[in-house]
Amino acid sequence: EIIVIDFGSQYTQLIARRIREFNVYSEIIPCNAPFNEIKKRKPAGIILSGGPSSVYEDGAPTIDKEIFNLGIPILGICYGMQLITHLLGGKVSKAEKKEYGKAILRIEDFSDIFSDVSRETVVWMSHADKITEMPEGFIRLAHTENSPYAAMADKKKKIYALQFHPEVVHTEEGKKILNNFIFKVCGCSPSWNMHSFVEKQIEEIRKKVGSYKVVCALSGGVDSTVTAVLVHRAVGESLTCIFVDNGLLRAGERQKVEEMLRNNFHINLKVVDASERFLRRLKGVRDPERKRKIIGGEFIKIFEEEAKKIEGVKFLAQGTLYPDVIESISFKGPSATIKSHHNVGGLLKRMKLKLIEPLRELFKDEVRQLGQELGIPDEILYRHPFPGPGLAIRCVGEVTRERLEILRQADMIVLEEIKNSGWYKKVWQSFAVLLPIKTVGVMGDERTYEHVIAVRAVHSVDGMTADWVRLPYELLERISNRIINEVKGVNRVVYDITSKPPGTIEWE
């Protein structure tokens, strides 16, 4: 195992991920974690991440100097390098010029971490401070035009340090450098994979849970399903999943979830039919943020009511992924690690529950791999994201049973056609939106005055930015024809050609 100590760099998670790609387990620990924890785990190597601070700042994050005497190989990256220099008696100074972006690394020593790397290679820099004097015992391994010490090492103690970021793709031979550190310096063997991850998680969850009970909020999406199946493998009957049918789900969704969890995985599943309750609270509400608040608040209430009925419940399992915790994991303390739309912070306190988050080290694609390992069908693992407030924020204007039904039928047609044409896996999200206006049309010989459906399909990597998908006209035509012919109350279909920004993916 390789431990990555996080000093707050936006790239920390990438380091851990790269190492897992080499089939070596790697986990991130915030830099203020007790030093003993690191010692106890006896990792094969330690990586000190980058970070936004300067080592001379008041309150700059640091680490126990004892770390250099453990005999464990260490790699410092950027801030990690400056910290090594500072703690071991070298000199770090403000660079006259901030160095940001590509630089040419000129390597002088090709043993261990630079073995097989080109003499001159492109690296990615992002720093304001630089090393002007190495600590005693260190030799220089490489330099760039702006950094006289872009890489250095105390080979006897196996301490290595890089000013650039080997974990980002812009560092062209970064993978090779990390690979060299992991295998040549730390002597790891590539034995980790999703199978061993599952084994390890199961063991940890069992140990943590003991004879108590675990509750899990199931949405039917990738993350909560994988979490539920994994926790179930660990504790079996002690897990109860709660699925709240808020009446804002897509066609057939609830049945699919019930069938899969109960029949395929034999998981205790409690389905709460609360559509009546949600719709009552949403009556007359048009403001999108109010809709969200009401739905979020109601969800928590119902979940709490149900969770309280389970005797001996002490844990809440949640499918938080790394990108969800990225902002909060670092040394600022792991406080706000809850997805905002599942705002369960208050619930944890009130019910004195502890969190189990077995996916918190993983990225989405790793979760899919894990799901495959657990035997979860692709249909679930490759589902498009679906927002917590569900169809309510796609029903622009008031949410009523009738309007939801129109939207639900139109949405089903969009998804069916997108799937049948092979586009489902190629797009990030695709759905229908019901607009709050009526327009004039003519059907048969009659004038109609009915609803408009907007179709939206976007490409995205993380939902932060998005582009509209250039769907074939024939597919759009089929979607439009089917909606108008099959969904009563709709006489017009439009296609949304707005990217994000300036638009958002959802219409509300």
Answer for which of 388, 403, 411, 483 binds ligand XMP (CB under 6 A) is: 388
Q: How far is the CB of 465 from ligand XMP (least distance, A)?
A: 9
Whether 223 has a binding-site annotation, put simply, is: yes
Lookup: tokens for 117? 């790397």
Q: How far is the CB of 249 from ligand XMP (least distance, A)?
A: 13
Reply yes or no: is the peptide bond before residue 358 cis, omega within 30 of 0.
no
Whether 225 has a binding-site annotation, put simply, is: yes
Q: How far apart are CA 73 and CA 188, in angstroms?
A: 11
Q: Which is nearer to ligand XMP, 170 or 500 (CB)?
A: 500
416 near 315, Cβ under 8 Å? no
Q: Which is nearer to ligand XMP, 189 or 504 (CB)?
A: 504
Confirm or reject binding of residue 387 to ligand XMP (CB under 6 A).
yes
Sheet holding 354-356, edge to edge: 268-273, 239-245, 213-217, 313-317, 354-356
Q: Which is nearer to ligand XMP, 301 or 500 (CB)?
A: 500
Q: Which is nearer to ligand XMP, 137 or 503 (CB)?
A: 503
Q: Which residues in 107-136 contact ligand XMP (CB under 6 A)?
A: none
What are the beta bridge partners of residue 75?
A: 47, 160
CA atoms within 13 A on the CB side of 505: 21
Confirm or reject binding of residue 220 to ligand XMP (CB under 6 A).
no
Whether 222 has a binding-site annotation, put simply, is: yes
Q: How far apart are CA 49 and CA 46, in angstroms?
A: 10
Q: Which is nearer to ligand XMP, 145 or 467 (CB)?
A: 467
Q: How far apart are CA 151 and CA 161, in angstroms?
A: 6
Query: Closest Cα to residue 456, out of 397, 402, 398, 385?
Result: 385
Catalytic annotation, residues: 78, 165, 167
Q: Which residues in 406-445 contact ligand XMP (CB under 6 A)?
A: 429
Whether 221 has a binding-site annotation, put simply, is: yes
Strands (E), 231-276: 239-245, 268-273
Confirm or reject binding of residue 53 to ligand XMP (CB under 6 A).
no
Confirm or reject binding of residue 341 to ligand XMP (CB under 6 A).
yes
Q: How far apart are CA 496 and CA 455, in angstroms?
A: 6
Q: Which is nearer to ligand XMP, 213 or 456 (CB)?
A: 456
Give Cα 43 distance to the centre of its chain: 25
Answer for which of 43, 90, 247, 389 binds ligand XMP (CB under 6 A) is: 389
Give Cα 394 distance to the centre of its chain: 24
Q: Which residues in 478-507 contact ligand XMP (CB under 6 A)?
A: 500, 504-506
Q: How far is the CB of 505 from ligand XMP (least distance, A)?
A: 3
Q: Which is nearer to ligand XMP, 143 or 394 (CB)?
A: 394
Q: What is the DSSP letter of 65?
A: G
Q: Which residues in 366-385 contact ligand XMP (CB under 6 A)?
A: 385
Please give the size of the binding site for ligand XMP, defined by CB under 6 A. 12
Q: Under 8 Å CB-to-CB from 366, ≥6 apart: which residues?
A: 17, 20, 194
Q: Which is nearer to ligand XMP, 71 or 501 (CB)?
A: 501
Q: How far apart are CA 440 and CA 448, in angstroms?
A: 6
197 near 228, Cβ under 8 Å? no
- Residue 59 CB neighbour total at 10 angstroms: 6
Confirm or reject binding of residue 463 to ligand XMP (CB under 6 A).
yes
3-state secondary structure 320-389: CCHHHHCCCCCCCCCCCCCCHHHCCHHHHHHHCCEEECCCCCCCHHHHHHHHHHCCCCHHHHCCCCCCCC
Whether 439 has a binding-site annotation, put simply, is: no
The 3-state DSSP class for residue 21 equals helix
Q: How far is the CB of 362 from ligand XMP (least distance, A)?
A: 19
Q: How far is the CB of 471 from ligand XMP (least distance, A)?
A: 18
The helix (H) or strand (E) run that includes residue 473 is helix 473-486
Whether 224 has a binding-site annotation, put simply, is: yes
Q: Which residues in 260-299 contact ligand XMP (CB under 6 A)?
A: 292
Which residues does the annotation place in the binding site for ATP? 219-225
Would you tell me which residues interact with ligand XMP (CB under 6 A)? 292, 341, 385, 387-389, 429, 463, 500, 504-506
